[in-house]
Amino acid sequence: MVKSTRHELALEQQLATVNDRLKEAKRRVRVVVPSAHHRTLHLRATLPAQPGEVQGRPRRRYIKVEVDYTAQGIEEAEALAIGLNLDIADWRNGKTFDWHKRNTPKKRQHSDEVESFASCIERLKTQFFEERKDDPMQQKVRRYWQTDRGTSFKKLNQSLPYSVGHMRDVIESLPKNSSPRKRLSLACVQLMRLMREPIDAVEEIKALGRGYGKQSLNPRDIPSDAQILEDIDKIAPEWKWALQVFFLYDVRPHELWECEVLDNCLLRVSDNTKTGLRVAMPREKQLVEKWDLFGTGHERLPETFGKRAVHPEQCVSMEFNRVRLEAGIKYPAYAIRHAWAINSIKAGTNIRLAAKSLGHTVAEHESTYLNWITEKEMLDAMLKEVA
């Protein structure tokens, strides 16, 4: 018996891994090599009879796909298997299975051709949503793709052939220790994993985005309460409610659309957000009543904004940033959230209440904000105890 070469064993292992993923995701398709004589991959699934055949019970069938039995071919076949699984789901729900599409061979890609970034990103997007199709909160899934993947990929020239070099150049062109650089780096890591890049290359791209995070922020970069109150008077009137809510509560920008100030002055954030349903407390109850903030984000944000936005919760951050820059406000909305956290430390707010209001775990809250306690805060606390 002839032993398999190291290359053949690697392909067999990769094929087994792909089929394990398909099985774990409960997909009804497998990627196979029907026999040792075949050097192209096939998809195996239980399918209905083809047109012209005797119509009987569905049976196991093989569909030849125009990709070679190579490492890249196996990856391409996995994406095709995901697509076939969607067609099978439609068929099982009563739709006609489109055999014509499956029997019409696509033009094979020459070995010297490289897939474009646009094509690779589309395959990653298909895989992303397929893996999360059973998530009950699809609105949050769409937002996650848009903010953490889609927006970042727009920085790449997607018409170019896929290459690690172009990703590296674009990431390095962004400011070091910045949020856009970190987001693009992590998005490119996902794309590289889809393309089965070597681990050392993936780690290199991942390392380019390191250095940004809440713990790296300097408290001096956070606006003071006096500065925020001054800027509330500067911003356009229709966005004043938004800035007041940012200041008094601790909402994330996209949560404005999904929040409501209750009659008891607490703010409720709906479960369509990053941290799910939660209640936030104001830093000053008197200001809630003075500013008359009661009502929902749908009611208090600009009417034209909601009408023209397909997914308002995804756009509110960009719209607010445009307005605050026009007003000469330099710090982003998220900095106001950090200001609330610092204020809770200075005010001696119970750490569990502060963490719950922010939508953090206590451990996350401690690791992020307690390192911001300065000598001045400690002295102030001592003076309060003496008084």
Closest CA to 82 of 142, 147, 132, 131: 131
Q: Are 190 and 123 in contact, with CB atoms under 8 Å apart?
A: no
DSSP secondary structure string, 287-300? HHHHHT--EEHHHH
Q: Confirm if 164 and 192 have CB atoms less than 8 A apart.
A: yes
pLDDT tens for the chain, residues 1 to 387: 445 566 677 788 888 999 998 988 889 999 998 776 667 888 999 999 888 777 788 888 888 887 778 877 888 888 888 988 888 988 888 888 888 777 654 444 444 456 889 989 998 998 888 888 887 877 778 878 888 888 899 999 998 888 888 898 899 898 887 888 899 999 999 998 888 787 777 888 888 888 755 555 555 568 888 999 999 999 999 999 999 999 999 888 878 888 899 999 999 988 766 567 889 999 889 999 999 999 888 888 887 776 666 666 657 777 888 889 899 998 888 888 888 888 887 777 888 888 888 887 887 777 777 666 666 666 666 666 555
Q: What are phi and psi of 10, to 5 degrees?
A: -65, -40
Phi/psi class of residue 311: alpha, beta or left (left: φ > 0; alpha: ψ in -120 to 50)? Answer: beta
E strand or H helix at 45? strand 40-47
Contact 84, 127 (CB under 8 A): no
Helix (H) or strand (E) holding 375: helix 375-386
For residue 113, which phi and psi values (nearest 5 degrees)? -90, 145
Least Cα distance to 29 among 37, 21, 57 occurs for: 21
Pick the CATH number of 219-386 from 3.30.200.20, 1.10.443.10, 3.40.50.300, 1.10.20.140: 1.10.443.10
The SS3 of residue 60 is strand
Say what the pTM is: 0.51
The neighbour count for residue 257, using CB atoms within 10 Å, is: 23
